[in-house]
Structure 1
């Protein structure tokens, strides 16, 4: 397949994130189909996008789609993603990979055996600022990287006002770490080219709502090569909103917000002026959906490695929760052989 307009993409879950993807894929020329348990959601989707709709993902898959986007509560990810992969469809799975490490591992195993590919919706990778940071790393302008600090902070940003599935631990698997923390943990690891994480120390808090999940979290990750990552995230708190990334290297450092156009480069030579690199800003969801559509159409290499990387993120998040509960650092070990887990599925 080589023409994006010939690609038929089914969206499972026609709520906010499903419609975000639908709007952009419609703009890109894909043929859409949708599935949702809610009849009103199906009717609205069918009318807006002139799309066929189905009462569940089984009927959607039976109708024949090239690819599936999964935008449902985290606990349901596994069932839909595995069924879609076994049906031969390509899959874009909204983050996180799953609601638990065990479920995430089963999805990753299905993806390894699948004819199609599976990728995970880490949209911050598609920020032009992030892409420029990776380019600078590869060009050697940063030298040897030592530390990355990331944050994703909101004020008054609890999903659904604290009454939806995002704050239901049985469906989400956690709180803000599962919602926003996944983005910035992946961002930091992506900028560092996914080193092995060997130790995690973290603290989660629930301070501003009547729910049991975390609404803020702080963590420090230590990698096998000595590099470190600091993480700060909140749905609501006494800090200015931010989606920032700070990178430290032996030759230079960077500071940027993933949604902004300015990337600040600071040389290790104190005599050099601080340099502002300007990049174009683009809708990250649009860039993500364009890349997915091209991969489904066979016009670019599928980003399949994100499943294994998402599994690393899932294990890190699990370790942050464990560290907070046990009030001590947690050493990440591969349960298969007792060695530090490097995310290599072949071990």
Structure 2
């Protein structure tokens, strides 16, 4: 590491639909001195064409393998559905391209391991698009943790809960294409942020349970569009308990649909010297025999997707390790995989 590369970096987009046009492509467009988008690919030619026209991209493909043949492409964003993360990522790495792959890293841990192995074999950067890591709230709490203000982190509760938020579009309700429901879709974000706070200790065992109580029923209110109950094959609620090598524990809850007062997207951190919660952002300490609730003020909000892209570009330019490494992305995927396995088998899963 340490060898700088020339700019602008040539960017290719594999999968040019929603997340590509809403997050990745605007992110790259924000840094014209660092990069330029030179090609897009999508199996739907109309989607690919629309993305290219919107961002003034010269090359349009319906097969990503043709995109990978372009010498001017140095790096790619893989913005395909979950079941199409692995192969384009491996193919891109083996074609000599750096990769920013959308979350979750993969459908399951085995796929994730194959992707990590390809990155190590080729020596190319592989960053997982867990943009919440770059948000103002997450960065603020992490600064306090790194300064020792929370002491030893021994417990965390992560929640990504929607009251009525089953997606009415895409493949979010199809297990064979998505890998799971809310846990792998929105739960992965809060799980990654929580692991980041805890310092990524090694998970040693996982227990979990999943429930499908609403998705297969007719007439359930859909605040994010209406889905087809007949094709709903994922959970609508999941819960897991993770034990770590350092004796810390983490509980995660995630739902598309649950009878709660309101949506919750939060993590609670307990440490020996203080605690924290993400939303609303607060810290809790005891000083001078006084209990303190601390509310940070005057923080500058950032575009986390844009910051994620910038971190990826900086890792390429400066030949440094990505801020969200493939190993960290794999850890979250292994935990999610183990929760699903535990739910299916009714047994605790021991991780190697």
RMSD: 1.8
Do the aligned partners of residues 91 and 292 (structure 1) sit closer, same or farther apart at CA in structure 2, a change above 3 Å counting? same
Distance in 1 separating the partners of 2:180 and 2:174: 8
Q: Which deviates more, 274-283 or 68-77? A: 274-283
Match of 2:314 in 1: 294
In structure 1, distance between residues paired with 2:62 and 2:330: 30
Shift of 1:290: 1.5
Q: TM-score, normalised by structure 1?
A: 0.89
Residue 280 in structure 1 maps to residue 280 in structure 2: no
Partner of 1:252: 274
Q: Secondary structure at the match of 1:41?
A: helix
2:14: which partner in 1? 12
CA distance in 1, matches of 2:96, 2:90: 10
Residues 277-299 of structure 1 show CA distances to partners (whole Å, capped at 9, x for unaligned) of: 2322212111111111222233x
Provide the aligned length of Structure 1 versus Structure 2.
325
SS in 1 for 2:149: coil
2:201 is aligned to: 195
Measure, in 1, the Cα distance between the counterparts of 2:291 and 2:6.
48
Structure 1's consecutive aligned runs of 4 or more residues displaced over 4 angstroms after TM superposition are 1-4
- Residue in structure 2 matched with residue 144 of structure 1 by the alignment: 152
| Corresponding residue to 2:61 among 54, 67, 91 | 54
Is the contact made by 1:94 and 1:121 (CA closer than 8 Å) also made in structure 2?
Answer: yes
Q: Is 1:42 equivalent to 2:48 in the alignment?
A: yes
Pick aligned residue for 2:36 from 17, 31, 40: 31
Partner of 1:21: 24
Unaligned runs of 5+ in 1: 335-347
Give the superposition deviation at 1:3.
Answer: 6.2
In the TM superposition, what is the alpha-carbon distance from 1:149 to its structure 2 partner?
1.2
* Matches for 1:111-260 after TM superposition, within 5 Å: 111-159=119-167, 161=168, 164-209=170-215, 210=229, 211-239=232-260, 240-257=262-279
| Deviation (angstroms), 1:139 | 0.8
Alignment-derived partner of residue 290 in structure 2 = 271
Residues in 1 aligned to 2:307 and 2:87: alpha-carbon distance in whole angstroms? 27
| Corresponding residue to 1:110 among 118, 133, 151 | 118
Bigger mean CA offset, 187-196 vs 18-27: 18-27
Aligned residue for 2:49, secondary structure, equals helix
Shift of 1:154: 2.1
Could you report, residue by residue, the CA deviation over 1:140-195 in whole angstroms, capped at 9, with x for unpaired residues? 11111111111112233223x1x532222111121112111211221111111100
Alignment correspondent of 2:327: 308
Instruction: State the partner residue of 2:219.
Output: none
Task: Give the Cα separation in 1 of the matches to 2:124 and 2:349.
Answer: 35
Question: Is there any run of 5+ residues in structure 2 with no aligned partner, and where?
Answer: 216-228
Q: Following the alignment from structure 2 to structure 1, what is the Cα–Cα distance between the partners of residues 332 and 136? A: 22
Indicate the residue corresponding to 1:339 in structure 2.
Answer: none
Offset of residue 251 of structure 1: 0.7
Retained in 1: the 8 A contact 2:135–2:301?
yes
1:253-279 CA-to-partner distances (Å, cap 9, x unmatched) read 11122xxxx631111345143111232
Secondary structure of the structure 2 residue equivalent to 1:217: strand
1:344 aligns with none
Q: CA deviation at 1:305?
A: 6.2
